[in-house]
Amino acid sequence: MTTAYETIRVRPLAGACGAEISGVDLARPLGNQAFAEIHRAFLEHSVIFFRDQDLKPADQEAFTLRFGPFGQTDYVKTLPDHPNIIAVIKEAEERTPFNFGGVWHSDFSYQDRPPMATILYGRDVPPYGGDTMFASGYLAYETLSDGLKRTLEGLRAVHSARRSYGSKGSYAKRRLKSMEIAADESGDAELEHPVIRTHPETGRKSVFVNPVYTIRIAGWTEAESKPLLDFLHAHAQRPEFTCRFRWAKGSLAMWDNRCLQHLALNDYHGFRREHHRTTVAGDRPA
């Protein structure tokens, strides 16, 4: 039986993941019980949303630090006085088919210790469009056959930032007018993570590959890896594993990169969108 929440209200958004939390002002210091309940809701729903928050950068930093030290931010220029905040911006006149976060991914999975959580705060939100979608890696794992689960348990995957931030990556070729992103050869580095990871706090297993940063199965060629990775990506993105969040100014989302992928929809041409983004450091996937 799950324990009731006493200091916050938690309203699930979808069967797969996601819940809206109300009854808390994140600009004020969080009491221990409120923090413990928010943390519990985060683990139960993998992504949590708050509405109508009025946060200065320092408030978002303080909320982030309740969960742990900041994660490492590479390649993307941060705010001048806030080295742990990225402004995710697309201007109204940027009619590009390419936007920040526009392909399913788990944040910075090319890092040895990818961020456990990302916190995104809506500052300027289009009148429609620009939603963010999330997909549960737990459900992706739990719905596989026992045979494929067994096969995947023995595999590791190679992750790299090269398609995005590498010397020939998309950010080396295409400029986003409103975000300063410095792609370079350090983005070509590779490292391995298990294909199936066990969440260090919930103990649940999830599929931990994504189409942006996973390059191949370790020990296999890219051509050999492609059919399996294509299957896993398509499987992980099944609509019934997802939830979709409609932003408003003052909304805040906090998602768990250890068991979710996400995608920023690019369907609001002609309108400006701006969010502030922080991350919480994570551990080495195992």
Ligand X SMILES: O=C(O)CCC(=O)C(=O)O
The site for ligand X (CB under 6 A) is made up of: 88, 100-101, 107, 118, 120, 132, 262, 264, 275, 277
Instruction: Annotate 46-79 with DSSP letters as a single string.
Output: SEEEE-S----HHHHHHHHHHHSSBPP--SBPEE
Rounded least distance, CB 135 to ligand X, Å = 12
The amino acid occupying position 173 is K
Q: Which is nearer to ligand X, 199 or 275 (CB)?
A: 275
Q: Which is nearer to ligand X, 179 or 217 (CB)?
A: 179
Rounded least distance, CB 283 to ligand X, Å = 19
Rounded least distance, CB 270 to ligand X, Å = 17
Rounded least distance, CB 2 to ligand X, Å = 29
Alpha helices by DSSP H, listed for the chain, are 32-45, 57-67, 137-142, 146-153, 162-165, 170-173, 222-236
Q: Which is nearer to ligand X, 163 or 217 (CB)?
A: 163
Q: Which is nearer to ligand X, 100 or 138 (CB)?
A: 100
> How far apart, in whole angstroms, are the C-alpha atoms of residue 45 and residue 12?
8
The pair of structure tokens assigned to 131 is 């939603």
> How far apart, in whole angstroms, are the C-alpha atoms of residue 245 and residue 50?
11
Q: Which is nearer to ligand X, 24 or 88 (CB)?
A: 88
Which residue's Cβ has the minimum distance to ligand X?
A: 101
105 carries an active-site annotation: yes
Q: Which of 159, 216, 262, 273 is catalytic?
A: 262
> How far apart, in whole angstroms, are the C-alpha atoms of residue 218 and residue 65?
34
262 carries an active-site annotation: yes
> How far apart, in whole angstroms, are the C-alpha atoms of residue 140 and residue 13?
18
List, in sequence order, every residue forming a beta bridge with 105; answer none if it has no partner.
262
Give burial (CB, 10 Å; 0-12/13-18/19+) of 245: buried
> How far apart, in whole angstroms, are the C-alpha atoms of residue 145 and residue 113?
29
Rounded least distance, CB 7 to ligand X, Å = 28
Q: Which of 162, 258, 276, 277 is catalytic?
A: 277
Angle at 212 between CA 208 and CA 218, to 5 degrees: 55
81 carries an active-site annotation: no
Q: Which of 45, 107, 163, 199 is catalytic?
A: 107
233 carries an active-site annotation: no
Rounded least distance, CB 33 to ligand X, Å = 29
What letter would DSSP give residue 250? Answer: T
Q: Which is nearer to ligand X, 138 or 255 (CB)?
A: 255
Q: Catalogue the active-site residues.
A: 105, 107, 262, 277
